[in-house]
Every structure is written in C-alpha cells, then in structure tokens.
Amino acid sequence: MKALFFDSFLQIKDIPVPEITSGDVLIRVKWAGICNTDIEITKGYIPNYNGIPGHEFYGLIHEAQDKTLIGKRVTAEINAGCNNCEWCNKGLSRHCPNRTVLGIINQDGAFAEFIKVPLDTLIFIPDSIVDTNAIFIEPLAAALEIIEQITIQKEHKVLLIGDGKLAQLIALVIHYTGCDLTVLGKHTDKLSLLTKQNIKTVHLDSFTPSLYDIIIEASGSSQALMNAISHVKPRGTVVLKSTYTDTSVFNPSAIVVNEITLIGSRCGRFESAINFLQKTQIDLSYLISEKHPFTNIIEAFRSSQKKGVLKVIVEMF
C-alpha cells in the first residue's frame, strides 16, 4: 500500500498492508486531516520519529474477525493503553505510561491507504454525522476535554487566546457553555469565521487587557502563556491547550500571590465529540480550507502551514 513515511523527511513509500490479529481491525482510510502535531513531527518535535504520521481520520472497516463489521464507517481513539495499569483501570488509557499513540508514539498513523487499530479503540460514526464533521472528531474531543477538566459557568468571563485550527473548535465548545467568551487572535480572516458563529472576537492590535475568570491558551506562544498569567483574576484558571516547542520564562510568584490554577489539557474522549456533534447539529465544513488527493500529500503538508489556512484534508480514495 501507499503510505506517507517520516524519517527525518517526508516521503511516499510503498509498504506491505498491515496484518491484523484477532484484537485488531484493518481500516481503509477515506479522509485524514493534517494537525499541528503532524507539522511539528516533520519539524523534529518527536526525536527519532520513524513511521507513518496522522491521527485525525475516518474510514471503512476493511478486514476484521467479526465480518459484520466490514464496511462500517469508523475512526479510532488515538491512545491505546496497556489495559493493565493505574491509568487504564481508571479509564484514562490516554495517560497510560505504556500507551501507543496513533501516528505519534509506536503506532503507524492514518496517512496511508490502510491503518490497523486495536478493536477496543474503534469508534463507530453514527450516520447522522456527515463526513465533513466526522473528520473533526479527534480535535473536537481535545477541545471538549477542557470542559471535562474545569467547570465553566454562564457568568464566567473567558478569554481564548488563539484563532487557529484547534482554537476554532475550542471557541465553539466554550461558546456553547453560554459563558461570556472573547477570542483574542491576530488573523482577521480567522477571527471573522468566529464572528459568523456569533462569537465575540478581538484582534491583538486593539486588545485592551482586562481580567478574566478563565483564560485558555491555544496559540502555542509561550509569550501568550505569560500574558494569560497576568490577565487572569485572582483564583482564576489558565488552561494550556498548546504544546510548545520553546521554553517559557516567568516568575511563578504571580501564580502564588493570586492563587492561580494552571491546568494542562490534551486529548479528550471521542464519545464526547460525537455527542456534541449530534446535540449541536453544527456544520464544521467551513473549517476545511483545502482537500488534496493522497498523491499530493507532501504539497498538502506544505499548504497547511500557509497563513490563513485552517484544516487541510487528504482524501485517500
């Protein structure tokens, strides 16, 4: 099969179709989305990375021991735990120290014709969820993780820093809580997408600092993290939603004096994303900037890093 392989550089390779055991299924990938983590992998975020990236996808089951599964439209939880540790026992396999992570840690990802996933990570996509929403299940789950970690109330004044791919989804999720949300960004075109969703936005150039109950940092800038600490109310919460390639320098005294809570937030449960899509009936297709055939995937990677581009989809067949 054809697969995108990263090993210090990106290349399309022809490799054998993965063999499945009774614990796995083989999925024929239909669409795969390019995420910032994929871009970071190509920039060396994970030292000695060697494999097929890609963790946002959906496809059709192609091979499984249970033949009734064949043809079903599915995606898969990206973290697969050992099922035998403190974390797996708590239902938190996404924190299992021995976990594999699809396309990221010790498991080949979705930028290939076929992908093998453990049966217990399989997520069936209800018919009511259209393809242009299905492709967002993974990042939407990550956005929803925030409201599983902290309680956002209607009276909360919330600032979201960032207007990129993930921030757009976070904005939708936070907006649905009914709180007083403002999104701070620096891309007029991306902010205008939020305005169309009736979400209050402010451009960095005209931002007048104020104090917020909750600040969500999703811009990936460590400078933004420092600003978040300065603009959150005493006893307020700063949610860190980006991973950072650079280090932060700050005086932790502000966190102590104002008793601020800083909380990191990563992957979420896919089930929550499916519920959200069904409950809100939202149409996320406006977040798809480009769709490329698989043969064009290296160009798609390049394109997804261009200014103004949001989600880039690779269509495998």
Chain residues in the site for its own copies (CB under 8 A): 87, 92, 95, 97, 149, 222, 225, 234-235, 240-266
**DSSP codes, 140-171:** HHHHHHHHHHS---TT-EEEEE--SHHHHHHH
**Closer to its own copies at the Cβ: 29 or 104?**
104
Residue 40 CB, nearest approach to its own copies (Å): 10
Residue 235 CB, nearest approach to its own copies (Å): 6
Residue 217 CB, nearest approach to its own copies (Å): 9
**Closer to its own copies at the Cβ: 42 or 133?**
42
User: CA-based diameter of the chain, in Å?
Assistant: 60
Residue 138 CB, nearest approach to its own copies (Å): 16
**Closer to its own copies at the Cβ: 252 or 293?**
252
Alpha carbon 45 to its chain's center: 16
Residue 258 CB, nearest approach to its own copies (Å): 7
**Closer to its own copies at the Cβ: 87 or 301?**
87
DSSP 69: G
**Closer to its own copies at the Cβ: 92 or 119?**
92
Residues β-bridged to residue 217:
161, 240
**Closer to its own copies at the Cβ: 205 or 257?**
257
**Closer to its own copies at the Cβ: 245 or 278?**
245
Contact 88, 96 (CB under 8 A): yes
Give the pair of three-digit tokens for residue 170: 């976070």
**Closer to its own copies at the Cβ: 203 or 266?**
266
CA torsion 277→283→286→291, rounded to 10°?
70
Residue 249 CB, nearest approach to its own copies (Å): 5
Residue 90 CB, nearest approach to its own copies (Å): 9
Helix axes 137-149, 270-280, angle to 10 degrees: 100
Angle, CA of 152, 155 and 156, to the nearest 5°: 50
Contact 36, 165 (CB under 8 A): yes
Contact 145, 120 (CB under 8 A): no
Residue 268 CB, nearest approach to its own copies (Å): 10
d(CA 293, CA 285): 18
d(CA 36, CA 7): 18
Query: Would you call 140 exposed, middle or buried from its count of C-beta atoms within 10 A (0-12, 13-18, 19+)?
Result: buried
